[in-house]
Amino acid sequence: MTLPYFLGCPQWQSPAWRALLPAGGSPLERYSAVFNCVEGNTTFYSTPTLAQCEQWRAQVPDDFRFLFKFPRQITHDRLLAKVGDEALSFLRTLAPLNDVLGPLLVQLPAAFGPSHLDDLWRFLDALPEPVVCAVEVRNPAFFEKGDDERALNRGLRDRNTSRVCFDSRALFSAAPTDEATREAQRKKPDVPVHVLPTEAPPVVRFIGHPDLALNRAFLLPWVNRVVDWLDRGMRPFIFMHMPNNDDALELARLWAKLLKERRCGFPELPLETKPPQLGLFQ
């Protein structure tokens, strides 16, 4: 689907999505018929093979974008210290996807604090062109609007690198009455939403409330901001998560509906509204 921005989910397949995505092809082909980007969470846990990357490239159109995460060994276990060889090896594996790579996600744990910033700058500066990154931080010092946050933001601006906007406000407004919500609230950071203006495309990760309708109030400010970004010629990446990501497509559908209400001409998502009728012998 052609959009003036990028919209996706944290994965490209789920058994619950089979009745909602267009029929035919692999899960990635069906997903990429509706969405034009995806978070590559899989690479955080396990690096794919060259053959897998070649298969993925063959299954998506030219305007699709993968935003893969650097492996946890690089970002979490080593906190970016002396990981140049590992990073280059990871990039070589992704080479078949080079023309459809969006910003690579450098997701840093809460343990990565102000004292580690020099490692971040060395890491980013050593990456070969045309590799582009987006950085997500979780240490409280980077949300206090003090010298530490200013140092982070200044370094990212100097490198024209996006600071990922992680918005979990809807998630943490929910009562943890079900296991999926409890697990999401346990794993996801509850941090303020700080937007860093740069020329780099913004990256927003929105984590929804389990009650789909209650997300409207949390999404509307992002609708206005995305329209503003588009008016300024920017093309942001917007990702929709839910406590149970079986529901992520419905959240994305709500998002697209709200954006269409705000700006005529934007399409609704071409998702199915009910399961397809099965033939007699299927």
**CA–CA separation, 96 vs 50, rounded Å?**
7
**H or E stretch at 207:** strand 203-207
Predicted TM-score (pTM) of this structure: 0.94
Looking at the predicted structure, is the pLDDT value of residue 48 above 60? yes
CATH architecture of 6-262: Alpha-Beta Barrel (3.20)
Q: Are 237 and 102 in contact (CB under 8 A)?
A: yes
Q: What is the pLDDT of residue 202?
A: 97
DSSP code for 276: P
**CA–CA separation, 223 vs 263, rounded Å?**
9
**CA–CA separation, 231 vs 211, rounded Å?**
31
What would the pLDDT profile of 51-94 be if each residue is shown by its tens digit?
Answer: 999 999 999 999 999 999 999 999 999 999 999 999 999 999 99
Helix (H, G, I), strand (E, B) or coil at 233: coil
- Name which residue leads in pLDDT, 276 or 184: 184
What would the pLDDT profile of 171-183 be if each residue is shown by its tens digit?
Answer: 999 999 999 999 9
Q: Are 7 and 252 in contact (CB under 8 A)?
A: yes
Report residue 131: phi and psi, to 5°.
Answer: -60, 130
Domains of the chain, by residue range, sit at 6-262
Q: Are 215 and 254 in contact (CB under 8 A)?
A: yes
List the beta bridge partners of residue 238. 7, 204
